[in-house]
Amino acid sequence: MDLFLQYLANGIVVGSSYALVAVGLTLVFGILGVVNFAHGEFYMLGAYAGLTAITVFHVPLPVAVAAVIVVSALLGWGAEVILHGPLKNRDATSSIISSFGLAVVLQNAALIWIGPEPQLLQTSLSAIPVEIGPVFMPLQRLMLPIATAVLLVALHLVLRYTWTGRSLRAMAQHGTVARLCGVRIKRVAIVTFMVAAALAGVAGFLMSSVYMVHPLIGNMIVLKAFTVVILGGMGQIGGAAAAGILLGITESMTSAYLDNGLRDIVGFVIVIVVLLVRPNGLFGRKADRS
Amino acid sequence: MSTFSRRQMLSVIGASVAAPAVVRAQDTSPIKIGGMLPLSGPAAIEGAQVRKGYEFAVAEANARGGVFGRKIELVLEDDEGNATKGVNAVRKLIERDKVPFIIGTYPTAVCVAATKVAREYKVAMISGGSTAVAGTDANTVGDPWFFRPWTDSNGQGADTAKAIVHQFHGKKVAIIHDLTNYGVTLADQAAAIVPKEGSTIVAREGFNAGEKDFSTLLTRLRTLRPDVVYVAGWAGDGATIVRQAAEVGLRAQFIGSGSMLSDDFIKLAGPASEGFAVATLYEATTPNKVGRAFGERFKAVYKHEAGTLNSLGFDSTSIGIEAMRRVGRPDSAAIQQMIKGGMKDFPLVQGPDGTTAAFDDKGGVTFPMFIAIVKNGKRTLS
């Protein structure tokens, strides 16, 4: 039983990173209808931005987080200008393909300018162990679920109680009607991309002290995030958060009780089954998009 | 009958005088040789290190004046550890750059796919770090086109398994391996030999190369209380495993596969790398005199100790260049013949003193490996 709790905790740590990345992905899809394959690169570049801030400029942790948010948000803005702005009236496949292109460009740019060698952010937190009952982990791992919870609650409050949040939700419900009611669509699109990229960037930065960073880390995480988004129901923010944690736990349990080699397969098998049985995802509502 | 005008006659004479000069002028252009490595992706750490070995060998050959009066130019392609990209890289090197031989690559699966293509073009390949026995097993016996100037994974697995049992006194052994050809063959070999030497295997687990979280797997291994954990795979994953094992409190002797140990590994794994051991082809403190001299020259240029991957990249490249020099022209088929039988006197920097590039009829070279251990954050030979 003690071990079960430890496995559960490990799963929640990994799952919260999936959740953080997937929420941004589902936000962009739900509000703007853009399937963004370059989302994993926001994660990767966020990690590098934080690493650079700390190892090159020697800034304290909160400043580094702020730097990551600024850099990622700017990237998100750039992505909106490329992926959404000029393509929003075209077929959905146009933005999918150009997001693939953007992912390749960003990855290779990182390979050329940063280099392929993996890097790791060494912080003083890694040496501090935390014990909660039978569960044991270094503090920096524990930071992941905590930071995820804080960010997701903040996101929820913004969406629920601010004017910006209300216009984002209005866009998600019906773009044309939102515009008729005075929502500035261009601004909403930019804000959506910036928020999504910032979430992914912060996730990348948080993970850079736990896992290694190299230019291709975005590939696997974006696949996992898509799994999570489909499981949670496309466009469902709460669904993505729950499904992310669930996927992390499932992977951890697979590795603990079945076979470690199966852990990457399990998520994708579940997606196929869910799509067959519940096409709107585990938490998806049936809705007709007009 | 004479249909030649005077002007034509003059131009023919003029051309015959000028032509050798033209040919000679082309002769001083650099000779391109092909290199292929994973410079990005999960084997990027390894690729970057092997690359230094290639470049060092080429630089030294050029400092000696190149071959037959021409400089050598290394054309390097990134295969990303991907078989499709590897095959494309080989085609590009042979068709576009007309290279007479190729040094590469690191992942064995990519080597096997790439050599198939290179053999069709009659261009020899010399391993850039591929160690799995599948690389040379894919050769036709007696007519190899893929050469590996060091011991294969079976030899490495056997040497490591014996060290696990006898040198590190592992009674209960856990094996973690990646699911590449290299990791699986090493694990198979260790799993076969460890029980024969009198110890037990308590666990054997696979993982996908490039996986980032091993905490659950390592937590479970901790409950089995192994004395020795053998990690067969690439350096990036090995460093992650060793670091996360310390985090979950798994205390055991960690032993890695051949090329894992480098200064980068020690940096990435941090203090957790202390005591980590590998069966290795080369260490800077090697008793091999040629190897020792290479290590000193290497350190003078790169400001760090040469490691296994630097040394094997150096050996493979030097063998190719020397074979081409002995043939006397960049003729790929003749170079393959020369590597196959004509290099038995050529000393290697890897292996014990006196190791030479004496390839067997499957394209491999066999010699016993060293065991290297991390002590006080430095690599030492046991």
Per-residue model confidence as pLDDT tens digits over B83-126 = 999 999 999 999 999 999 999 899 999 999 999 999 999 999 99
Interface test with B, best of A120, A137, A143, A260 (most B CBs within 10 A): A260
- For residues B136 and B94, what is the distance between their CA atoms, to the nearest angstrom? 21
- Candidates B216, B223, B239; nearest CB to A10: B216
Chain centroid, CA B182 distance in Å: 12
B97, B87, B151: which is closest to B119 by C-alpha? Answer: B87
Q: Which two tokens stand for residue B32?
A: 């391109």
How would residue A171 be classed by pLDDT, with cut points 50, 70 and 90?
Answer: confident
Percent of chain A with pLDDT over 90: 22
The whole-angstrom distance between A136's CA and the closest CA on chain B is 7
- State yes or no: pLDDT of A282 exceeds 80: no
* Secondary structure of residue A214 in the 3-state scheme: coil
Interface test with A, best of B180, B213, B264 (most A CBs within 10 A): B213
- State yes or no: pLDDT of B293 exceeds 50: yes
Residue with tokens 């910006």: A164
- State yes or no: pLDDT of B21 exceeds 70: no
Question: Looking at beta carbons, which residues of chain A come within 8 Å of B217?
Answer: 255-256, 260
pLDDT value at residue A265? 87
For A159-193, give one letter per residue: b (16+ CB within 10 A) or e.
Answer: beeeeebebbbbbbeebeebeeeebebeebbbbbb
**Dihedral angle computed from the Cα positions of residues B159, B160, B166 and B170, in that order, rounded to the nearest 10 degrees:** -160
- For residues B263 and B52, what is the distance between their CA atoms, to the nearest angstrom? 14
How would residue A290 be classed by pLDDT, with cut points 50, 70 and 90?
Answer: very low
Cβ contact B45–A141 (<8 Å) = no
Average pLDDT, integer, range B219-242: 90
- For residues A64 and A70, what is the distance between their CA atoms, to the nearest angstrom? 10
- For residues A131 and A139, what is the distance between their CA atoms, to the nearest angstrom? 9
- For residues B269 and B277, what is the distance between their CA atoms, to the nearest angstrom? 13
Residue with tokens 């975005």: A218
- Candidates B179, B220, B270; nearest CB to A256: B220
Average pLDDT, chain A: 85
Instruction: Find out whether A64 and A54 touch, Cβ atoms under 8 Å.
Output: yes
The whole-angstrom distance between B40's CA and the closest CA on chain A is 5
- State yes or no: pLDDT of B146 exceeds 90: yes
Chain centroid, CA B290 distance in Å: 18
The whole-angstrom distance between B49's CA and the closest CA on chain A is 10
Q: Which two tokens stand for residue B244?
A: 């996360």
Chain centroid, CA B209 distance in Å: 18
Instruction: Find out whether A31 and A192 touch, Cβ atoms under 8 Å.
Output: yes
Average pLDDT, chain B: 88
- State yes or no: pLDDT of A150 exceeds 80: yes
- For residues A141 and A127, what is the distance between their CA atoms, to the nearest angstrom? 11
| One-letter amino acid for residue A50 of the chain | G
Average pLDDT, integer, range A151-169: 87
Instruction: Find out whether A32 and A93 touch, Cβ atoms under 8 Å.
Output: no
**Closest chain B residue to A219 measured between Cα atoms?**
B41
Cβ contact A126–B236 (<8 Å) = no
Percent of chain B with pLDDT over 70: 93
Chain centroid, CA A274 distance in Å: 21
Instruction: Find out whether B40 and A111 touch, Cβ atoms under 8 Å.
Output: yes
Average pLDDT, integer, range B49-57: 94
Question: Looking at beta carbons, which residues of chain A come within 8 Å of B179?
Answer: 261
Q: Residue B177: beta bridge partners?
A: B206, B232
The whole-angstrom distance between A74's CA and the closest CA on chain B is 26
A222, A211, A209, A286: which is closest to A24 by C-alpha? Answer: A222
